[in-house]
């Protein structure tokens, strides 16, 4: 989904673009907090996107703020419909969703312009993404004429959990509110991935699906999210960047306030080729991106799974004061692999302080060897699960050499009540400004789920040690950037 056209760039257009950009925060707010929404291409046919969109508005309490446009209907789902945008009372709507066939989009845009609607999401496809560049250029020039900001075409638009706005033409899902924003040309964030966010307790502030990016692009949205008080963590999926300089300038400023995590695809020649034929994007040399991202504090990830893991850690955890990690594990193999991953990710495993050693000795047999990672297997056998984890975690939380904790459990039969001790321990850890990450090792899914449901969103739960270390390393990397740029 999504193919980027190069907008014609005459001197005048560039100048007007710069002017528009400066106001983009204010201008974009119309996309996220509209007074009213016109739906051009609203439908009475439940199989159509133009029906689903209206249905979603009704379900989300936007019934009085949505104005379906359909030449043949007087009402849709109990909402009064209008024959044309022009029939909608002046001033009630400041956002339009367009879902009519591609050829009819320029006309619809004209009508919006005539009626003073300055924000338009074009959900229809059939533009540059399928080679129809001419039609997309017409959209751009029409929009410019009226001073309209266009998201799309080929975009399912935005989600704003604080206002309840949900523009995609896909089935509405219950969405967990929170501080994480997702931006990308893909529609995945507001559809398939949304279900994953729900299950893994990733709380959403905004989602933006940019589509073809004929006008509004990732830099506009980045600026908006940088100023958005609801957004604490910004996650982006990028294939190519149109205005690298602007992205860097913005990122440099914003990343001092909130983390920006980027999954940049088109890293390799094959990926760039795929991006070119898929979105027309010129993905550019990856080393340059890598250097640029580092320079402006962007955390880079390689996989969607990693993007979500890292986002979850940022959303819930205090930044550690340093890179010293304490690891408690009930499996020796978990400790050894954790040490590898820590070293590969630039983290340290400090020796336990004398005080900590004294404290943990109480649950271990006398002959046990104590280190970091702390393998608690023999303590569990001697003192029981709960007492062991309670004593060791508490000791490491209080250890002044430890900036962050990873606790690894390989539970076979723990109940939610058992798991709950980690909630208290984790919260105590966080109160001391230390990050706390929990691993419920790959086993039965029900057990993992039980840990997730008992501990999240306050404490992030991972299915493998490696993924927890990766997420923690991102916190440390970001913290280092923030400290260095002060």
**In the window 287-346, what residues touch a copy of itself (CB under 8 A)?**
302-305, 308, 331-333, 335-340, 342-344
| Minimum CB distance to a copy of itself smaller for 370 or for 482 | 370
Please give the angle made by the CA atoms of 387, 397 and 371, to the nearest 5 degrees.
75
Tell me which residues in 252-281 interact with a copy of itself (CB under 8 A). Answer: 263, 265-271, 273-275, 277-279
Cβ 387 vs Cβ 352: under 8 Å:
no
Tell me phi and psi for residue 106, to 5 degrees.
-55, -40
Residue 124 or 255: which CB sits closer to a copy of itself? 124
Applying the rule CB under 8 A, the residues between 412 and 441 that interact with a copy of itself are 412-413, 441
Span interacting with a copy of itself, options 9-17, 21-29, 33-41, 369-377, rule CB under 8 A: 369-377
Pick out residues in 7-46 that bind a copy of itself (CB under 8 A).
none
Told to check if 248 binds a copy of itself by CB under 8 A, we report no
Q: Single out the residue of 237, 293, 389, 422 in contact with a copy of itself (rule: CB under 8 A).
A: 237
Does residue number 466 form part of the binding site for a copy of itself (CB under 8 A)? yes
Query: Could you say whether residue 211 binds a copy of itself (CB under 8 A)?
Result: no
Nearer to a copy of itself, 237 or 314 (CB): 237
Least distance to a copy of itself from the beta carbon of 443, Å? Answer: 4
Residues pairing with 149 in the sheet: 119
- Closer of 369 and 417 to a copy of itself (Cβ): 369
Shortest Cβ 20–a copy of itself spacing (Å): 27
The residues near 233 (Cβ < 8 Å, ≥ 6 apart) are: 179, 180, 181, 258, 259, 261, 311, 314, 315
Please provide residue 216's backbone torsions phi and psi, each rounded to the nearest 5 degrees.
-60, 125
Distance of alpha carbon 242 from alpha carbon 264, whole angstroms: 13
Give the Cα-Cα-Cα angle 248, 250, 254 (nearest 5 degrees). 120
CB 451 within 8 A of CB 442: no
State which residue, 119 or 212, has the beta carbon closest to a copy of itself: 212
Spatial distance between the Cα atoms of 355 and 373, rounded to a whole number of angstroms: 16
50 lines the binding site for a copy of itself (CB under 8 A): no
Distance CA 53, CA 29 (A): 20
Of 19 and 412, CB closest to a copy of itself:
412
For residue 158 the two structure tokens come to: 């935005």
Nearer Cβ to a copy of itself (54/190): 190
Residues 87-146, interacting with a copy of itself (CB under 8 A) = 125-126, 130-132
Angle, helices 286-295/244-254, rounded to nearest 10 degrees: 30
Relative orientation angle of helices 304-316 and 465-484, to the nearest 10 degrees: 60
Quick check: 188 binds a copy of itself (CB under 8 A)?
A: yes
Chain centroid, CA 438 distance in Å: 21
Among 114, 134, 427, 444, binds a copy of itself (CB under 8 A): 444
């Amino acid at each position: 989904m999504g193919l980027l056209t190069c907008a014609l760039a005459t001197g005048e257009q560039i100048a007007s673009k710069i002017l528009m950009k400066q106001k983009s925060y204010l201008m974009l707010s119309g996309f996220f907090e509209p007074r009213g929404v016109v739906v051009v291409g609203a439908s009475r046919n439940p199989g159509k996107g133009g029906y689903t969109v209206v249905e979603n508005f009704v379900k989300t309490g936007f019934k009085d703020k949505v104005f379906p446009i359909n030449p043949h209907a007087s009402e849709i789902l109990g909402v009064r419909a209008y024959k044309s945008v022009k029939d909608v009372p002046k001033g009630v709507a400041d956002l339009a969703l367009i879902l009519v066939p591609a050829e009819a989009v320029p006309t619809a845009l004209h009508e919006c312009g005539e009626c003073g609607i300055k924000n338009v999401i074009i959900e229809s496809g059939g533009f540059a993404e399928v080679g129809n560049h001419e039609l997309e250029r017409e959209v751009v020039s029409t929009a410019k004429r009226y001073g309209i900001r266009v998201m799309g075409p080929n975009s399912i638009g935005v989600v704003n959990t604080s206002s309840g706005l949900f523009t995609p033409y896909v089935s509405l899902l219950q969405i967990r509110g929170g501080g994480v924003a997702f931006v990308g040309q893909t529609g995945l964030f507001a559809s398939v991935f949304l279900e994953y966010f729900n299950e893994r307790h990733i709380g959403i502030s905004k989602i933006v699906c940019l589509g073809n990016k004929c006008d509004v692009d990732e830099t506009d949205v980045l600026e908006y999210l940088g100023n958005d008080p609801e957004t604490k963590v910004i996650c982006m999926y990028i294939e190519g960047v149109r205005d690298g300089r602007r992205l860097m300038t913005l990122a440099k400023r914003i990343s001092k306030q909130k983390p920006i995590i980027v999954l940049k695809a088109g890293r390799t020649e094959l990926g760039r080729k795929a991006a070119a034929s898929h979105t027309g994007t010129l993905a550019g040399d990856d080393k340059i991106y890598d250097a640029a991202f580092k320079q402006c504090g962007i955390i880079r990830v390689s996989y969607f799974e990693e993007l979500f893991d890292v986002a979850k850690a940022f959303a819930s955890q205090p930044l550690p004061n340093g890179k010293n990690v304490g690891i408690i594990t009930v499996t020796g193999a978990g400790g050894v692999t954790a040490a590898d991953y820590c070293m590969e990710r630039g983290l340290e495993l400090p020796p336990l302080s004398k005080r900590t050693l004294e404290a943990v000795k109480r649950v271990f047999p006398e002959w046990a060897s104590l280190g970091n990672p702390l393998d608690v297997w023999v303590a569990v056998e001697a003192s029981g699960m709960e007492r062991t984890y309670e004593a060791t975690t508490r000791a490491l939380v209080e250890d002044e050499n430890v900036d962050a904790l990873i606790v690894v459990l390989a539970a076979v039969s723990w109940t939610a009540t058992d798991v709950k001790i980690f909630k208290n321990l984790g919260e105590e850890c966080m109160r001391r400004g230390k990050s706390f990450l929990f691993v419920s090792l790959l086993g039965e899914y029900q057990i993992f789920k039980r840990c997730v449901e008992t501990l999240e969103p306050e404490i992030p739960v991972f299915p493998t040690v490696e993924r927890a270390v990766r997420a923690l390393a991102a916190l440390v990397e970001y913290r280092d950037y923030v400290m260095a740029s002060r």
